Chains A and B, each alone.
Chain A
Amino acid sequence: MIEPCHDVVCSFWSLLNEGPMTLTIILHTLIVLPMVWIYFDEKKKMERGDIPNE
């Protein structure tokens, strides 16, 4: 499963690249996961009714 890095230089990003799709999964998670928090935050505000009418 883990492919050791064989690149010319092995940097931090190459280390993340060693597992099966780990680099792309981590990057996607970093980008998408906080949207879940934003979702629940918005939901809370909506239920409390403190969303100003736009």
Chain B
Amino acid sequence: MENRPSVWSSNRFWRRSATWVTGVASVLLVFLTFDSMGQMKMGTAADIKNKVDKRIPSPLVINYKIDYKLNKTRGHEIPIIGGMDANGYSKYEEKEKFFGKDNWSEKEAKALIHKGKLTIQAKNCMDCHTLLGNGAYYAPDLTKAWLDPTWETLASAYGGKEYAIAKFLENPPAMAMHERKMPNLGITKEEAKAVVAYLKFMSAIDTNGFPRNFGKIKGAVDARK
């Protein structure tokens, strides 16, 4: 109960510390943001041509086959665009038809992605689904929806999985797969195509291995039984 003043209980010390800490943390965040923004710029046609990996690839990836494979060096799964080389990285070679063609120009692809993103926002997709894991938890995650095995099984009946997904989006209740069905959001044919393009593009974003083991494991225990 002595009355000697201590720095620890002095307002001045804490006020100065708070000011310093806030300032330096903000400055660090600004520097980190500049670095991240540089790395997160959307890729270009030249990047694809030169086989440069980008975290967010060029919209032109819709012309290519996309996969999601474990990379030993990275230690997690990464998107594989246009086939995988011996080291487990993208080759940017194997093409895949998307709505009938695999030579979408950069301009066309960009326009498609633009409309797709606008539609995703205009229909409030994020308030049922998660995209890159963020959103609501009422419907499945869409990060790698393009690669989901469900669509592989439906692909042949519709002449390709892009057609199957587009058909579903135009009138989801008609193709409902679950009691918790998606409502009809008045998505037009053009919008559906654009959304599918966005899903394909999004599946090629490098998410540092999220979701882990996508589609690889089948459960052995079913707690419902």
Contact = CB atoms under 8 A, between A and B. Distances in A.
A8 B28 contact: no
A13 to B, nearest CB: 6
Contacts of B74: 6-7
Given A30-B24, A31-B25, A42-B10, A9 B17 contact: no
A31 B21 contact: yes
Contacts of B216: none
A54 B21 CA distance: 22
A30 B13 CA distance: 18
Interface of A: 6-9, 11-13, 27, 30-32, 34-35, 38-39, 42-43, 46, 51, 54
18 contacts: A6-B74, A8-B54, A8-B206, A12-B35, A13-B35, A27-B28, A30-B28, A31-B28, A32-B21, A34-B24, A35-B20, A39-B13, A42-B10, A42-B12, A46-B5, A51-B12, A54-B11, A54-B12
A8 B207 CA distance: 11
B118 interface: no
Contacts of A27: 28
A42 B75 contact: no
Contacts of A9: 38-39, 55
A6 B72 CA distance: 10
Number of chain B interface residues as a range: 20 to 34
A31 B24 contact: yes
A45 B75 CA distance: 53
A9 B10 CA distance: 46
Interface in B1-44: 5, 7, 10-13, 16-17, 20-21, 24-25, 28, 32, 35, 38-39
Contact of A42 (B7, B20, B21): B7
Contacts of A39: 7, 13
B50 interface: no
B102 interface: no
A35 B17 contact: yes
Q: Which 6 A-B pairs have the closest CB atoms?
A: A42-B13, A35-B17, A42-B7, A6-B73, A9-B39, A43-B7
B67 interface: no
Contacts of A46: 5, 7, 10
Given A8-B206, A46-B10, A13 B17 contact: no
